A and B are shown apart, each in its own frame.
Chain A
């Protein structure tokens, strides 16, 4: 019963490097989301998807890209890492608007 799985759990990047945060869910949810969490700021939506092949920007999309080629996977790409992207990243999925969003365990990213 995996739910939402994120990899890696921790990562240190140097400024200018790129990386992909992986997210997969096994609940056959159509909706998937990427949030970042910063202390005292709550969670901010980066990108979301309502189904395979469909993605849209959230509140803070700059510096990130996503793709959704399958229902299960929703990777988040950082192209040129900046210190401002130091954060904890959460992937989530849900069946629909009225239903519970299930969150992964998070990826703690530090950019130095």
Chain B
């Protein structure tokens, strides 16, 4: 079984400041790793994912995440945030052997960017 822990429930930051949203996971098998973003009153959208290969993955809007196998972490970072990044962010894992592709989500981190 897998589990995901997002270490911060709320992260307030000022515009143009850097941010890190932390995610740790637990699994007895290899996993795929995902970050999803949820804007107010909307469904979730994929931000980025790690399947294999380079441990550093990037999104089109400046976010990046690094897979650290030894620390079982997949932290999300952005060097300079915008007001429009205000949203809830979810880390998720999926067992690579699982036929159903089920996602196990963390509790979510609410990012609030202030001017």
Contact = CB atoms under 8 A, between A and B. Distances in A.
Given A31-B101, A98-B51, A42 B108 contact: yes
A34 to B, nearest CB: 11
Contact of B43 (A45, A100, A105): A105
SS class, residues of chain B in contact with chain A? loop
A101 B37 CA distance: 12
Interface residues of A, number: 28
Given A42-B90, A104-B43, A94 B101 contact: yes
Nearest to B32: A98
5 contacts: A43-B103, A97-B32, A97-B98, A98-B32, A103-B43
Interface of A: 4, 31, 33, 35, 40-45, 48, 50, 56, 58-59, 90, 92, 94, 96-101, 103-106
Q: Which 8 A-B pairs have the closest CB atoms?
A: A103-B43, A97-B101, A42-B105, A100-B46, A43-B105, A42-B107, A103-B44, A48-B100
